[in-house]
Structure 1
């Protein structure tokens, strides 16, 4: 029997992002999961970022959602209200390629209470081999997925240290592509390998109470993933169904795509006191991609 949250390939092969429900969300007892504690979530307008913002609100945290997509940020707030979740939510339209915008959203988060948690989730994808990769796309992708997490951490660390006990965590969205490389995703792979270094650097400087960790997953059915499936199909000259079944799930032992909620729950656990020894490490939930082979 399959888990209700898992996403499998139907006979008519129709890919749709799963609907988020309150029952999907992990809720933990934690002394710091209160309205006084603030979590900043980037990429909060859709996909994993949206699910993470909702999951943290379900745990009673004050959530500041950052994204360039104002309508998507509103949708996230609508979900939190619809589910009647205890955590307050503050959407802030943010261009992560602008240092001024990052400064503003970090300061806004700190004004809401004790900024303890940062989830750097915002991402993008572009499919091309190295020889043909447009440098403007490389610059944009690495700005959003590597420079922005670095700068957000730089600005947030002082606020976390200023809390009464200096306890908090900065979590970075990584990927199986932070562990290995495949063809035609060189900028994404570069950024995700860089995230590993940033995560370890945060842990090295966090003095134990300010933790850094990353989350690595395989393929998650998000709007970004639907677009990536189409791009990969075009790049390789195969059908979208072949991309999913042979390219994406072919190496995995778990033949199901993850849902955004399942990934969001990893951030909830990683931020909690249950994960106090998760520091500089990576939560690898990939269905066996990186540890098994034919």
Structure 2
């Protein structure tokens, strides 16, 4: 197939995509916040949690995307509910407001910090404004979200809850031209461990690390990487992205969402400060 024929798009969600867990905390009284809920992994996680009966508050700057997420959850007849709140994660006031709105919906126990973005450029050419924006969204905002959410979780009758952070294989190692993303993911791993250290065993912190996931963000990244390295999109996918992996296909957003669902559940009580690394063999294998 010629590269010009290569069409890339994120897969549509379906009801059968999601792990469903019988859990004492998975009901409409329990509230989960999901950032980045207007698309990609954030949308899949929000819908997956609603499919497990939780009340989900989705935070994203994309109001139309949040409405689309709500429509998907409704189309799936999810036993839980989804409420979208237009949120600028770089604004502390907005973060405080969305946490307050979530607490008003029921018992806030879970937070999934998933919102992210990417910019492809060498260190020498990386715009500082873009660097600051990426770290604000992917490192500072998760800290602020944890800071606002922890008192609500600790105020529950048993202080049970979890804050989950979307890390990456790029939180384990570095490749070129992704400095801000890599820096934020390494920092996010430290934040995860700090949450676990302060959580007294009942309020857990964990991270999720995966390789390449076919999301709208990834489609854009493939095009940017092709341009930056002056290679075809096919070469980006097959050589740059999947070349090191043993599993020769990208993950789907729903597959990643299932890791958050499991991580929040009572089956994951001992997942605390650790990382769910589902990377298809990127990190610990080589040729």
Aligned residue in 1 for 2:125: 132
Unpaired segments ≥5 residues, structure 2? none
Aligned residue in 2 for 1:18: 11
Aligned residue in 2 for 1:5: none
1:258 corresponds, among 251, 261, 272, to 251
> Offset at 1:15?
1.2
> Offset at 1:13?
2.6
Aligned residue in 2 for 1:235: 228
Give distance in 2, aligned partners of 1:38 and 1:199: 20
Aligned residue in 1 for 2:153: 160
Give distance in 2, aligned partners of 1:181 and 1:239: 22
Aligned residue in 2 for 1:94: 87
Q: Map residues 192-271 of structure 1 onto 2, 5 A cutoff.
A: 192-271=185-264
Work out whether 1:190 is the aligned partner of 2:172: no
1:272 corresponds, among 257, 265, 271, to 265
> Offset at 1:10?
11
Aligned residue in 2 for 1:171: 164
Question: How big is the alpha-carbon RMSD for the aligned residues of Structure 1 and Structure 2?
Answer: 1.1
Q: TM-score, normalised by structure 1?
A: 0.96
Three-state SS of the structure 2 residue aligned to 1:284 is strand
Q: TM-score, normalised by structure 2?
A: 0.98
Give distance in 1, aligned partners of 2:254 and 2:189: 23
Three-state SS of the structure 1 residue aligned to 2:97 is helix
Q: Map residues 37-56 of structure 1 onto 2, 5 A cutoff.
A: 37-56=30-49
Work out whether 1:84 is the aligned partner of 2:77: yes
Cα deviation digits, residues 223-266 of structure 1 (max 9, x gap): 00000000100000000110000000000000000000000000
Alignment coverage as a number of residue pairs:
286
